[in-house]
Amino acid sequence: MPKAQETVLEINLKALKHNFEYLKSRLQPNTKFLAVVKAFAYGSDACEIANYLQSLNADYFAVAYINEGIALRHAGVTKPILVLHPQSVNFKQLIEHCLEPSIYNSKILKEFINSASAEKQTNYPIHIKFNTGLNRLGFSGHDVDSIANELKATETVKVTSVFSHLAASEDLEEKRFSLNQIETFNNIAENFTKQIGYKPMRHMCNTSGILNYPEAHFDMVRCGIGLYGFGNSEKENQHLKPISTLKTVISQIHTIKQGESVGYNRAFKSDALLKTATLPIGHADGIGRQYGNGNGFVTINGEKAPIVGNVCMDMVMVNVTNIDCKEGDEVIIFGENPTAENLAASVQTISYELLTSVSQRVKRIFID
């Protein structure tokens, strides 16, 4: 790969294909694969990623909000797209772009039926979400009768799937809780199917669910972080490849004398002679202020360079006293080593947050 000459996010499509094929290999042949591409495909590029996965025969896509789904349609994605958290103000646009809403409470169900009816729809595909313990979105099992009655009274919509979300599938110490969620969902789905008189798809597993709970793969799985290279465990990370590498360059090197300070608020004061490198990346690019003052680091010529002082909006300064480097040299923020997970752990957060924080102003480069 060419050396960076500016701040860039390199996205390796070969690694994405590897992850997709590995995760698919953990499924039964008839289990559908839904790729989660919300939040710009976890900070990469949703349109490029979805189109590439569509070429690999991903069955479904999921986004968080309607505008994300519309962007995929405009980019040429034709596969079904589930909108996980639709807002009723945008239902008309959702229908115009053939997106499929997650329906999670009675208010949204009634509002969507009214919107679909106004657009003269028949059997419009919807997905009914049940809450089995995450306590975020979803009907309860006690709502089955009322949902079924609402659905029987209209031909405007038809349920494509019923689904739920595991709360702690990556944590095997919570296995009993997860198994209880799976059993609860099974019971709800069975009752719901009897009530409506036909059998929608069932899905419950996220990436960790795919890896840890094969009994809950059902008709489809929803995979997000695994596609981007992380399996939520050291063991599974060995089978996956991070697809994104965030790179930048050294803009300037300074010699800092004892007693001099670096950056805003004089947050760092040197107690010895040292060298710092200034890099064109900052909190506006996704490297939050929590990474400052030695908490975070970058890698230059294979060596760790801790961040010095406060992270600026567009720049960070790092300690390169013991690193053989020069202005213009490439700098790795995260990639294969260190990974986004490694860097995020340095400030007690998770790879998801770091990946999705990479600003849209950072240039994306695709490698196949």
- Name the residues annotated as catalytic: 38, 264
DSSP β-bridge partners for residue 11: 244, 366
Q: Which residues contact 233 (CB under 8 A, 6 or more apart)?
A: 170, 208, 211
Residue 318 CA: distances (Å) to CA of 278, 315, 333 = 7, 10, 11
Q: How far apart are CA 283 and CA 22, in angstroms?
A: 34
**Residue 26 near residue 211, CB atoms below 8 Å:** yes
**Residue 153 near residue 118, CB atoms below 8 Å:** no
Q: Which of 242, 206, 248 is nearest to 344 (CA)?
A: 242
Q: How far apart are CA 322 and CA 305, in angstroms?
A: 9
The encoded tokens of residue 220 equal: 């489809």
